[in-house]
Amino acid sequence: MNKNDNKLIKIIIATVLLIIVGFSLYIGYKIAILIREPDVFRKWIESFGIYAPLVYVLITICQIMIPLIPGEPMELAAGYAFGGVQGTLLCFAAESLGSIIVLFMVRKFGRKIVEIYFDNDKIDSLKFLNTDEKKTILYAMIFIMPGTPKDLLCYYGGLTDIDMKTLVLIATLGRIPSIITSTLAGSSLGNQNYIKALSYVLIAAALSLLGIFLYKSIKESHSKIKKIE
C-alpha cells in the first residue's frame, strides 16, 4: 500500500468519524428534549413511521460507539416510545450490536481508540481486569452490576485477552438488568402510570447504588493488593 492509499484511508476514517460525532451531537440534543419534553421526543421518533425502530437502533448504536451521550435516557426512550416489550427488545438488540462493534474496533486498533473517549487514569484503573487470575468471572460480575461504567468496561474489554466470544456474551447479556428496569420505567411514564414508573426508578437507583459500592470496593481491594506487591 503506497502513501497516497494510506492518506486516502485516513481521510475516509476521519470523515466517517466526523459524521458519526455530528450525528451523535444531534441525537444528544434530541435526548435533551426527551428529558424536558418526552412527548415531543416520542412524536419525533414516531414521525419515521415503519422506520422508527430502525432509527432508534441506529441512534443507540451510535451512543454505544461514542460514549459522550449517557445510555440511560436511551433506555427510557425505548420504553416510552415503543412500550415495555418492544422497547426492551429494541434496546437489547441495539446495545448488543453497539457493544460488539466496539469490542472488534478495540481489538483491531488497540488502546489508541479507547484513549479518544477516556483518559489514561480511568483506563489504568481497570488494569486488574487484565491481570487477575479470575479476570473473566470478575469482568462478568462487574459488567452485570447496575451502576458500573458500562461504556468504559465495554471499551476496556477489548484490551483484555479474554476470549472474544466470551466478551461478546458478557457485554450483551450484562446489560439486561439495566435495560429492563429503564425500559419498564419509560413504558410506565408513557402510559402515565407514574407510581409504577417511580417504583422502577427506585429499584434501578437502589441496584445502581449497590453496584457502585461493590465496584469501588473491588477496585480498592485490587489497588491495595498492588501496593503490597
Q: Tell me the pLDDT band of 189, cut-offs 50, 70 and 90.
A: confident
Res 224 pLDDT > 60: no
Q: What separation in angstroms does the CA of 68 have from each of 20, 59, 121, 213? A: 12, 13, 17, 24
Q: Tell me the pLDDT band of 200, cut-offs 50, 70 and 90.
A: confident
Q: Is 92:75 a contact under the CB 8 Å cutoff? A: no
Radius of gyration of the chain, Cα coordinates, nearest whole angstrom: 19
Q: Tell me the pLDDT band of 65, cut-offs 50, 70 and 90.
A: confident
Question: What pLDDT does residue 228 have?
Answer: 46
Question: What pLDDT does residue 223 have?
Answer: 64
Q: Which helix (H) or strand (E) holds 45?
A: helix 38-46
Question: What pLDDT does residue 100 have?
Answer: 93
Res 38 pLDDT > 70: no
Q: What percent of the chain has pLDDT over 90?
A: 16
Q: Tell me the pLDDT band of 64, cut-offs 50, 70 and 90.
A: confident
**CA atoms 123, 22, 25, 83: torsion sign:** negative
Question: What pLDDT does residue 72 have?
Answer: 77
Q: How far apart are the first and last CA of the chain?
A: 46
